[in-house]
Amino acid sequence: MSESAKEPSPGLFFDTISGFERTQALKGAIDLGLFTAIGAGAQTAAEIAAKCEASERGVRILCDYLVVNGFLKKVAGKYALTRDSAAYLDARSPTYLGGAADFILAPMMSGAYSDIAGAVRKGGTMLSGEGMAAPEHPLWVKYAQAMAFMTVVPAQMMAEFVDTVPGNRLKVLDIAAGSGLYGIGLARRNPNVDIFAVDGPDMLAVATENARKAGIEKHYHPIPGSAFEVDFGSGYDIALITNFLHHFDLGTCEHLMKKVYAALKDGGRAVTLDLIPNEDHVTPREAGSLGLAMLVSTPHGDIYTYAELKYMLQNAGFARSELHPSDLGDARAIISYK
């Protein structure tokens, strides 16, 4: 049935306007360790309540709500994890995502969405200063720690198409390195890669620890400071700019990429990884949704199409750029050549 032939429904309105209920129920379950308790063998409300040190009545009501909303299964009065909940909400899982709630629902992050009308009128965040674009913002450390595992597979895939002849000696600049896993992915693939990682000291502590765990700490060289101010050095074969440019306006991005261009040796490449929307600015969904997050949390951040980024990179000095076809999850990569 076509959209025009359907009867109007208030379902989307009520689903969206009450979305905070699902958010807070999930956060409460994470705080209680409810999913971990069920994963460890608790099945009935009484058993789960005992493990979570909570009331049986409260646990029963919350578990039923989580069943209704797809986070749990219930058969004959016993609760069980769904496949997704077992993977991402049981704290014993290597792919546990519960820690991300501390970042996503931090007062500053949730507060950024409290006055969207004000942000729209202003054209930027209602948060003080630079909002989430502020250098060395402490919330990014929580993000890097909670979300690192989601970077592992894209980092491995990116390493394969960036370093097509593993064994060559490469000097790599990693801008706003975060967890460091994109650079670390290259160094794990190629023992002749040296990574020079730029970020704030707290973030670099996370990245350096990840490099140690990966066994490549001798090839990992921190450069503490803002990417817009610190001296990168020169002679780089590759520069990585991952999930960073959308925090700023295109003029600021161009200024940064001119610095990156200068730091590359002749024939060097810049690899820009980001959520890049189609020309309609609304698809794919993940990229199209990012614009609102940038509006409410940064002064000038936005989402940029490949055409917009390609033009910016050309202005920064790059001879040519190409959109890489590899599947990197929600993100897409642009390779630019000096």
Three-class SS of 122-187: HCCCCCCCCHHHCCCCCHHHHHHHHHCHHHHHHHHHHHHHHCCCECECEEEEEECCCCCHHHHHHH
Residue 3, pLDDT > 70, answer: no
Enumerate the domain spans of the chain.
3-91, 131-337
Tell me the C-alpha distance between 137 and 87, whole Å: 29
pLDDT in tens, 119-154: 999 999 999 888 888 777 777 777 777 777 678 788
Fold entry, domain 131-337: Rossmann fold (3.40.50)
Would you say residue 1 has pLDDT above 60?
no
Going by pLDDT thresholds of 50, 70 and 90, the confidence category of residue 313 is: very high
Name the pTM for this structure.
0.89
Written as one letter, the residue type at 104 is: I
Phi, psi torsion values for 99, nearest 5 degrees: -65, -20
Fold of 3-91: Arc Repressor Mutant, subunit A (1.10.10)
pLDDT digits (tens, 9 = 90+) for 42-55: 999 999 999 999 99
pLDDT score at 144: 76
**Burial class for 157, CB neighbours closer than 10 Å (0-12, 13-18, 19+):** middle
- What span, in angstroms and rounded, lies between the C-alpha atoms of 281 and 289? 9
Average per-residue pLDDT for the chain: 93
Distance CA 90, CA 85 (A): 7
The mean per-residue pLDDT over the stretch 57-70 comes to: 98
pLDDT at 4: 62
